[in-house]
């Protein structure tokens, strides 16, 4: 059996290389997802994930993360968790529970603390500086506060045919306390079914969730479409509909992988992503808005 992994944005690359190494050595897709996302969460210069992530309106870094096992459909997720080093590990741990597998705010942080997950002040000096500057600009120039957001999403296929997916983000910069997006919502920001494939999203969660886009991509792959055709068919007609009916639309990008290790992407903005497969070394690619 083959193995493969796809991740959103340039920031996914180093983590994805680690994930691919695991998969090559017969590691599980779940370990590949967790390891690769932890790498992104730990890197202090990515402004939208984990340590160094930009804070909310009140200056607090509130993070969303999710994990899904495509063999069992087990899902674990945290929303608005703070002061925890690796939200993805908390999400994966929660996926083992049938009850209480999605936790928000203080409850998520409390679970992490009680279960021995490493605590950490995730707000860096650099993130604080950017926050202060942005706050000034917003006040002086009367700008929209919401500027900048990215999620790392990883979809992984291992040699036993198992597919897992994970996401992690500090969400929309300057978001209101308690705001969440698509990244920890199953079917919206992520989905996996090992008999078919998996998908992950990045972009303006408020709009991604309107289309349940990750579920839709996996569903379409299940009808026999390639990951690229499924991405095209799920995303572009929805972009068109949303523009027509809602009037405006945020930026978003989706990645997909199927059980043969084939992949696809769809985006309405210039988008970098990383892919590694049994046949092609990990590399960074760029996609342009399609229709
Ligand atoms: C959210 N989807 O919170 C996330 C953020 C993101 O590119 O991915 N932005 O809405």
pLDDT in tens, 100-139: 999 999 999 999 999 999 999 999 999 999 999 888 888 8
- What is the average pLDDT across 154-161? 98
Q: Give the mean model confidence (pLDDT) for residues 26-54.
A: 96
Task: Mark the binding-site residues, compressed into ranges.
Answer: 179-182, 202-205
- pLDDT > 70: what percent of the chain? 97
pLDDT at position 134 = 85
Q: Provide the β-strand partners of residue 191.
A: 199
Which parts are annotated binding residues for substrate?
A: 179-182, 202-205
* Cβ–Cβ under 8 Å, residues 272 and 208: no
Q: Could you write out the DSSP letters of every residue in the chain?
A: ---EEEEESGGGHHHHHHHHHHHHTT--HHHHHHHHHHHHHH-TT-TTSSTTPPP-TTS---EEEEEEETTT--EEEEEEE-SBS-HHHHHHHHTT-SSS-EEEHHHHHHHHHHTTPPB-----HHHHHHHHHHHHHHHHHT--S------EEEEEE-TTS-EEEEEEE--STTPPTT---STTSBTTTEEEETTTEEEEEEE-HHHHGGGTHHHHHHHHHHTT--HHHHHHHHHHHHHHHHHHHHS----EEEEEEETTS-EEEEESS-EEEEEEESSS--EEEEE----
Residue 135, pLDDT score: 85
* Band of pLDDT at residue 145, cut at 50, 70 and 90: low
- pLDDT higher than 80, residue 147: no
CB atoms within 10 A of CB 290: 14
Q: Which of 37, 148, 169, 273 to mutate to test the pocket of ligand 1 (most atoms within 8 A of CB)?
A: 169
Q: Which of 202, 255, 272 to mutate to test the pocket of ligand 1 (most atoms within 8 A of CB)?
A: 202
Answer yes or no: is pLDDT of 93 > 80: yes
**Per-residue pLDDT at 136:** 87
Asked if residue 37 has pLDDT above 70, the reply is: yes
User: What does the pLDDT average to over 159-176?
Assistant: 95
Our measurement of the distance from residue 274's CA atom to the centroid of its chain's CA atoms, rounded to an integer in Å, reads 13
Answer with the residue of higher pLDDT: 74 or 143. Answer: 74
What is residue 138's predicted lDDT score, i.e. its pLDDT? Answer: 81
Whether the pLDDT of residue 89 is over 70: the answer is yes
If we measure between CA atoms, which residue out of 233, 228, 226, 239 comes closest to residue 273?
228
Average pLDDT of 192-216? 97
Helix 87-94 / helix 105-114 crossing angle, nearest 10 deg: 90
The ipTM (two decimal places) reads 0.94
Query: What is the model's pTM?
Result: 0.96
**Is 34 a pocket residue for ligand 1 (Cβ < 6 Å)?**
no
Distance from C-alpha of 27 to C-alpha of 57, rounded to nearest angstrom: 40
Using an 8 Å Cβ cutoff, are 42 and 85 in contact? yes
CA neighbor of 105 nearest in space, from 86, 121, 81: 81
pLDDT of res. 148? 61
Q: Return the pLDDT at 230.
A: 98
Q: Computed over its alpha carbons, how large is the radius of gyration of the chain?
A: 18
What average pLDDT score do residues 9-21 get?
97
Among the listed residues 8, 28, 151, 267, the single catalytic one is: 151
Are 240 and 216 contacting, i.e. CB atoms less than 8 angstroms apart?
no
* pLDDT at residue 1, as a whole number: 87
- State whether the beta carbon of 202 lies less than 6 angstroms from ligand 1: yes
Task: Say yes or no: CB of residue 41 within 6 Å of ligand 1.
Answer: no
Q: Tell me the pLDDT of the chain averaged across its residues.
A: 95
What is the pLDDT at residue 141? 76
**Does ligand 1 have an atom closer than 6 angstroms to the CB of 204?**
yes
Q: What is the pLDDT of residue 149?
A: 66
Q: How confident is the model at residue 74 (pLDDT cuts 50, 70, 90)?
A: very high
pLDDT of residue 140: 82
Q: Dihedral (C-alpha) 106, 127, 43, 75: value to the nearest 10 degrees?
A: 30
The pLDDT score that the predictor gives to residue 16 is: 98
Q: Are 20 and 283 in contact (CB under 8 A)?
A: no
151 is catalytic: yes
Q: Is 181 in the pocket of ligand 1 (CB under 6 A)?
A: yes
């Amino acid at each position: 059996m083959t193995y493969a992994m796809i991740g959103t944005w340039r920031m996914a690359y180093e983590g994805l290389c680690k994930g691919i190494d695991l998969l090559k050595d017969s590691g599980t897709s779940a370990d590949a997802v967790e390891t690769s996302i932890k790498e992104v969460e730990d890197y202090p210069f990515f402004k939208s994930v984990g340590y160094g992530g930009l804070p909310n309106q009140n200056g607090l870094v509130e993070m969303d993360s999710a994990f899904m096992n495509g063999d069992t459909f087990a899902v674990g997720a945290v929303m608005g968790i703070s002061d925890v080093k690796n939200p993805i590990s908390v999400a994966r741990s929660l996926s083992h529970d049938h009850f209480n597998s999605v936790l928000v705010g203080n409850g998520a942080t409390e679970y992490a603390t009680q279960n021995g997950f490493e605590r950490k002040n995730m707000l860096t000096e650099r993130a604080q500086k950017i926050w202060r500057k942005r706050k000034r600009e917003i006040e002086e120039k009367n700008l929209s506060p919401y500027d900048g957001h990215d999620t790392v999403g990883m979809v992984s296929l291992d040699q036993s045919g198992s597919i897992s997916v994970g996401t992690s983000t500090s969400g929309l910069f300057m978001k209101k306390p308690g705001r969440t997006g698509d990244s920890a919502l199953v079917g919206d920001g992520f989905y996996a079914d090992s008999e078919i494939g998996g998908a992950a999203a990045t972009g303006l969660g408020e709009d991604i969730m309107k289309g349940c886009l990750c579920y839709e991509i996996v569903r379409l792959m299940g009808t026999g479409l390639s990951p690229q055709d499924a991405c095209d068919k799920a995303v572009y007609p929805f972009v068109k509909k949303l523009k027509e009916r809602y009037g405006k639309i945020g930026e978003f990008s989706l990645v997909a992988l199927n059980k043969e290790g084939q992949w696809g992407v769809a985006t309405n903005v210039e988008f970098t992503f990383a892919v590694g497969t049994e046949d092609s070394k990990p590399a960074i690619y760029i996609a342009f808005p399609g229709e």
